[in-house]
Amino acid sequence: MTTEHTPHPRIAERAKAGPHTTKDEHIGFNGRFAILITNSVGTMWCAYAFALLALISLPEAIKAGTAALVAWIAQTFLQLVLLSVIMVGQKVSAAASDKQALQTYKDAEALLKIQDDVHRLIKVNNDLTAQIHAATCKVPAPAKTAAAPKKPAAKPKAAARRR
């Protein structure tokens, strides 16, 4: 097993690119134009303006009767006002999503840093363990003394009786 740590290439890619947010999605003329309209219509001020515009035709809808009033509510007021309100909600959700993505990105970066620190600590630990092992193995072995020739082992008496 090798103790050499090689960071994954994706780490360098992440450092260059940074977190991906909704701002990164607006490409080309059509994208910029769509965002311009969305940012204009998707405001509460636009919702208030649409509500005022719809209220201009309310007296005529009331005079025309119940069916015309229901049609005015469904086709005029709700569509005009809710369009902008929903767009505002989408912008708020997208901003919250971008914040969450950025936080997740920062957390991942911190974990990658911790992982690199752990790899460095493992290398230091392995080096120190190798030094300790080398230091403990350098104790001189006991000197060999001239030993008397070994005698063949005698058979136990119990084994000799059985034969």
For the chain, give the mean pLDDT. 81
pLDDT of residue 16: 80
State the residue range of the domain holding 100.
9-144
In a domain, 154, yes or no: no
In a domain, 3, yes or no: no
For the chain, the straight-line distance linking the first and the last C-alpha, in angstroms and rounded, comes to: 56
The answer to whether residue 66 scores a pLDDT higher than 90 is: yes
- Kindly report the pTM of this predicted structure: 0.53
In a domain, 46, yes or no: yes
pLDDT of residue 162: 53
The answer to whether residue 158 scores a pLDDT higher than 60 is: no
pLDDT of residue 140: 60
As a whole number, mean pLDDT of residues 3-17 equals 73
The answer to whether residue 141 scores a pLDDT higher than 60 is: no
- The position carrying tokens 């001189």 is 140
CB 92 within 8 A of CB 54: no
pLDDT of residue 12: 77
Q: How far apart are CA 101 and CA 19, in angstroms?
A: 7
Residue (of 44, 75, 35) closest to 58 by Cα position:
75
More confident residue, 11 or 148: 11
In a domain, 85, yes or no: yes
Total tally of structural domains belonging to the chain: 1
Name the token pair of 129.
Answer: 């363990």
In a domain, 162, yes or no: no
pLDDT of residue 45: 94
In a domain, 4, yes or no: no
In a domain, 62, yes or no: yes
Q: Estimate the share of the chain in helix, then strand, then coil, as percent rounded to the nearest 5.
A: 75, 0, 25
In a domain, 23, yes or no: yes
- C-alpha to C-alpha distances, 154 to 97, 149, 160, 161, nearest whole angstrom: 87, 15, 10, 14
Q: Note the pLDDT tens digit of each residue in 73-114.
A: 998 888 888 888 998 998 888 888 888 988 888 888 888 888
Contacts of 31 (CB under 8 A, 6+ apart): 25
